[in-house]
Homo-oligomer: A and B are copies of this chain.
Amino acid sequence: MRGVLAVLGLLGFGAQGEEAVWEIGPRSLAPPAAASAALREAVAQTPTPALAEWASVQPRTAEEWRALGASFAGAPDLDAMASAAGVSIEADTIADVAVYRVMPAAGAKPPHEEHIFLYVHGGAYVFGGGPAAVSEAVVISAMAGIPSVAIDYRMPPDHPFPAAVDDTEAVYRQLLETREPSTIAIGGTSAGGGLTLAAVHRFKAVGLPVPGALYLGTPWADLTDASDSLHTNEGIDRILVTYDGMLASAAKLYAGEAEPTHALISPVYGDFTGFPPTYLVTGTRDMLLSDTARVHRKLRVAGVVADLNVYEGLSHAEYAFLVGSPEYQQTYGELAQFLATHLR
């Protein structure tokens, strides 16, 4: 082994004792040759991510946040979405929290007759509310044959932490009035994955039973900028592009007066003992690769069943965007298998 070790470059180095910051030179990067054709083509059609431009997006006031949100494309057409996916979508409230109920048109598929997927959307804790809050839940309900409830939780600028966690707890508590925790899965992508983890930390703290399974799509589990892939994949993740700018600003806005290392804000810092079986997805170009891998390690060290899946060349949450791609089919197809295995 020592021979190998030497050739691999571990020996003979030694800038002892100080934190070495590396200066990494410029490079050319081709599209990921071994990704699916759909992903490779999508990357090939994307110009080099404009790092400085993305880093300059730093809303500071409630008005600036609202203006940024208003600049995005409009809300999805729920009727068209429901019809295309073969589900029904209904706006409702549970425990005074706005939700959308999703039901497969053919009804729940075995073994999910008595199961439910509690979905929490992504969008950096600031965006993705309203009708957009149900989009990924529609995919999950359609592919797994499971009814969903998508929570349109309160968000900044009006409602920073802990409003999102409070709303998720309120809906979960209400569901527990009529069903066993083992019949409920909770999950979401990005901030939705982080909120899923924060909610389970909260359930444990207030003495609620944990649900039967979790889905963490590239969870934003650390809002403190400590994850290495935020930096190694900066400018390489074509979705998030850089932490500086919108993400850093959103982290600050969401935390409000609270410490960003609080386990209900950056749930990777919590205790994962007693968590339910958890399915995780990320990609090699994902700026939240580290968040996802770190959560997976914490779960495994705590003895939890945790299933990590990493897609070649995939940026943040692209499995959700590349509808019908192999990355999309595998992510939701295997989530369906996971739910069928672990919900009771």
Binding site for B on A (CB under 8 A): 1-11, 13-35, 43-49, 51, 54, 68-69, 72-76, 121-123, 127-128, 132, 135-136, 222, 226-229, 231-236, 238-241, 246, 268, 284-285, 289-290, 292-294, 296-297, 300-301, 307-313, 316-317, 320-321, 330, 334
Contact = CB atoms under 8 A, between A and B. Distances in A.
Contacts of A309: 296-297, 300, 308
B45 A16 contact: yes
A2 B73 contact: yes
A29 to B, nearest CB: 5
A24 B29 contact: yes
A15 B51 contact: no
Stoichiometry, as copies per complex, reads 2
A78 to B, nearest CB: 11
A200 B23 CA distance: 42
Contact of A294 (B43, B227, B312): B312
B45 A20 contact: yes
7 contacts: A2-B135, A10-B321, A19-B31, A29-B231, A227-B312, A297-B311, A310-B310
Contact of A8 (B240, B268, B293): B240
Contacts of A72: 2-4, 6-7
A128 to B, nearest CB: 4
A258 B75 CA distance: 55
Contact of A228 (B33, B73, B239): B33
Contacts of A68: 7
B15 A47 contact: yes
B228 A312 contact: yes
Nearest to A47: B15
A4 B131 CA distance: 12
Nearest to A317: B8
A151 to B, nearest CB: 15
A4 B48 contact: no
Contact of A49 (B3, B9, B11): B9
Interface-central residue, A7, A8, A23, A297, by most chain B CB under 10 Å: A8
B4 A128 contact: yes
A58 to B, nearest CB: 14
Given A7-B123, A19-B30, A34-B268, 16 more contacts: A1-B76, A1-B136, A2-B76, A3-B72, A4-B122, A4-B128, A5-B73, A6-B73, A7-B68, A8-B316, A8-B321, A15-B46, A34-B222, A232-B284, A232-B285, A308-B310
